[in-house]
Amino acid sequence: EAGVTQSPRYAVLQEGQAVSFWCDPISGHDTLYWYQQPRDQGPQLLVYFRDEAVIDNSQLPSDRFSAVRPKGTNSTLKIQSAKQGDTATYLCASSSGTTNTEVFFGKGTRLTVV
């Protein structure tokens, strides 16, 4: 079974630039999460979806961050006008929400904003 796939693995931006991260969850998993993990900290939930619907995006900085999952499968997280404080690893994860089983993580995208 393929795991959660994310791309790119690394990104380096200057402040003010935009970037998009892509995630392909495990097939059949209806719940998809995006987490931000600053260095030496735990993952902090940004947004999660059940199928194509946003369930909770209260922690997503709405002025510069956006996330979509239009067909309930792959998802894209976009940062407009990146700031140095956005430097972190962005983790995508998925689970089968109906059975509340393990949350599986992708390898993440490490973003550095200079």
Partner 1 sequence: GQQVKQSSPSLTVQEGGISILNCDYENDMFDYFAWYKKYPDNSPTLLISVRSNVDKREDGRLTVFLNKSGKHFSLHITASQPEDTAVYLCAAGSNTGYQNFYFGKGTSLTVIP
Which of 41, 62, 84, 112 is close enough to bind partner 1 by CB under 8 A? 41
Is 26 near partner 1 (CB under 8 A)?
A: no
Dihedral angle computed from the Cα positions of residues 8, 39, 80 and 84, in that order, rounded to the nearest 10 degrees: -130
Is 25 near partner 1 (CB under 8 A)?
A: no
How many residues interact with partner 1 (rule CB under 8 A)?
Answer: 24
Is 33 near partner 1 (CB under 8 A)?
A: yes
Is residue 109 within 8 A of residue 9, CB to CB? The reply is yes
Is 103 near partner 1 (CB under 8 A)?
A: yes
Is-cis flag, bond preceding 8, omega within 30?
yes
- Residue 61 sits at the vertex; the CA angle it makes with 114 and 109, to the nearest 5 degrees, is 50
Which of 65, 106, 111, 113 is close enough to bind partner 1 by CB under 8 A? 106
